[in-house]
Amino acid sequence: MEIGERLALHTFRVTRADLVRYAGASGDFNPIHWSDRHATKVGLPGVIAHGMYTMAVAGQAVLAWAGDPAAVVEYGVRFTKPVVVPDDEEGTEVTVSAVVKGFTEQGYAQLDITAMCGGDKVLGQARAVVRLR
Which residue type occupies 34?
W
- 1 vs 127: which has the higher pLDDT: 127
**Beta bridge mates, 23:** none
Q: pLDDT band for 133, please (50, 70, 90 cuts).
A: confident
Which residue type occupies 123?
L
Helix axes 51-66, 16-26, angle to 10 degrees: 90
16-34 pLDDT, tens digit per residue, is 999 999 999 999 999 999 9
What's the CATH code of the domain at 98?
Answer: 3.10.129.10
1 in a domain, yes or no? no
- Domain of 114? 6-130
**Beta bridge mates, 96:** 10, 115
What pTM did the predictor assign?
Answer: 0.93
Largest CA distance in the chain: 51
pLDDT reading at 98 higher than 90: yes
Give the chain's domain count. 1
